[in-house]
Structure 1
Amino acid sequence: MQGCTMKVPVAVIRLPHGPDGSSRGFDPNSPRFQALGPASLSSGSTADLEQEQQSRVTLRERYLRSLSAMVGRPVRFTMYERVKVTALFGASDIDILNFQVSELQTPLGIQREALLRCSDIIAYSFEL
């Protein structure tokens, strides 16, 4: 084949396997896994299970309504290292891992648009 050039291969990044060896990344001994795992659901009676599920539904609904109420409002975020920032809340991703904000006021200046990782946020508040 004339004029055919070989393209440079792209390296494939292989992520390490999770602690259980199935690459799911969840440690079955972690408190979070045990709290959310199926073993915690089967340990109680049916009435306890239904009450716990209803409580989770209520808390989840309240949290999602609060996210909806924050849209377009100024929100004060307390981050690690005692950093406090203010921004107009825009949206959250589906897993609620990141917040999209506008007019982020930081100690170094104003950022027009930004993504805040929820894992970096200690607390946030806004007025209704």
Structure 2
Amino acid sequence: MADPIPVPVGILRLPRGPDSSGARGFSRDWRHSRDAEDSRDNNSRDNSRDFGAVQRARAALRERFLRLLGSARGRRTRFSLWSGILLDAEFGAADVESGAFQVDSLQTPLGIQGSALLRSGDVLEFSFPLE
């Protein structure tokens, strides 16, 4: 007799937090972030940066990027991929961590795709050509 089919086990996926370099996300406890930065660079006291100014600059850049994504919906967009291919599409949305871009009417060298997801790791840059 054949072995019984195993019962599938659910997978719990936890949200990813900021990494130790601060490249993704912001620490809610600025002292913890400052300590981590100090531990990476022993000479940080000699050439210290104003941590508050750095955080404000990063927050301003993040806000500008999110506003750009919010106002881009429905606009013609040109995506340049790392492979050198240029794609034209109508911008739809981006996920929370900008892991993917949802586009409509994607014009590829092989034809037009009604809707698609472009992985942000494949996208070198994107722009909004003047119409």
User: What TM-score does the superposition give when structure 2 sets the normalisation length?
Assistant: 0.68
Q: What are the residue-to-residue correspondences of 1:29-108 with 2, within 5 Å? A: 33-36=20-23, 38=33, 39-40=36-37, 43=44, 48-108=50-110
Identity %: 42
Distance 1:86 1:103, change over 3 A: same
Question: Which residue identity does 1:80 align to in structure 2?
Answer: W
Question: Which residue identity does 1:34 align to in structure 2?
Answer: S
Provide the rounded CA distance (Å) in 2 between the counterparts of 1:100 and 1:7. Answer: 41
Aligned to 1:54, the other structure's residue is in SS state: helix
Question: Which residue identity does 2:109 align to in structure 1?
Answer: P
Question: Which residue identity does 1:56 align to in structure 2?
Answer: R
Q: How many residues align?
A: 108
Unaligned runs of 5+ in 1: 1-5, 15-23, 27-31
Counterpart for residue 29 of structure 1: none
Structure (1/2) with the larger helix percentage: 1
Say whether 1:8 aligns with 2:10. Answer: no
Unaligned runs of 5+ in 2: 28-32
User: What TM-score does the superposition give when structure 1 sets the normalisation length?
Assistant: 0.69
Distance 1:94 1:7, change over 3 A: farther
Counterpart for residue 115 of structure 1: 117
RMSD, aligned α-carbons: 3.4
Provide the rounded CA distance (Å) in 2 between the counterparts of 1:96 and 1:71. Answer: 14
Provide the rounded CA distance (Å) in 2 between the counterparts of 1:41 and 1:59. Answer: 23
Aligned to 2:101, the other structure's residue is in SS state: strand
Aligned to 2:102, the other structure's residue is in SS state: strand
Residue 40 of structure 1 and its aligned partner are, at CA, apart by 2.0
